[in-house]
Amino acid sequence: MPRVFISPNGFRVLVGKNSAENDRLSSAVVNAHDFWFHAKDIPGSHVILQWDPCSPYHPNQDDLLYAAHAAAYFSKAKHTPYLQVQVIVGRGCDLIKIPNGKKISIQCTSTLFVSVTPALFASLLHPVHQLQVFPTMQQPMIVT
């Protein structure tokens, strides 16, 4: 079972705990309307921000940044001051087997530059199952 968090506006954020879970999230769980996050060029968890397109509510910038912070925190580079996190809508990634493991082939990606905030990351350590509001996050810079 992946870690389950709730974004500032109530969307489920799933975080893989290991390679098998990352594979499952990226191939079987993510839907065409969900958002997929991963630290750029760094080993780490795959993060899915789930969204139901039939819902009257849409994830906003705070929700996307929350999921990006989760991807940064659950990566090997969580102690760096800034980190690039790739974000894809839906099934824009393919898993490709290589001799020493797996590689992710990513299509149509945007990159969020997140400022690593230790207090925010500490709040991510305990998965929650109800709405929890976090301090205002810095605006991300989006590069396409």
Predicted confidence (pLDDT) per residue in 2-39, tens digit? 889 888 888 999 999 998 898 888 888 888 889 999 99
Give the pLDDT of residue 7: 87
Give the pLDDT of residue 93: 59
Domain boundaries, the chain: 3-143
CA atoms within 13 A on the CB side of 58: 3
Looking up tokens 């509510």 gives 57
Average pLDDT for 116-135? 55
More confident: 122 or 132: 122
Is the distance from CB of 90 to CB of 32 less than 8 angstroms? yes
- Coil, helix or strand for 138? coil
Can you give the pTM of this predicted structure? 0.75
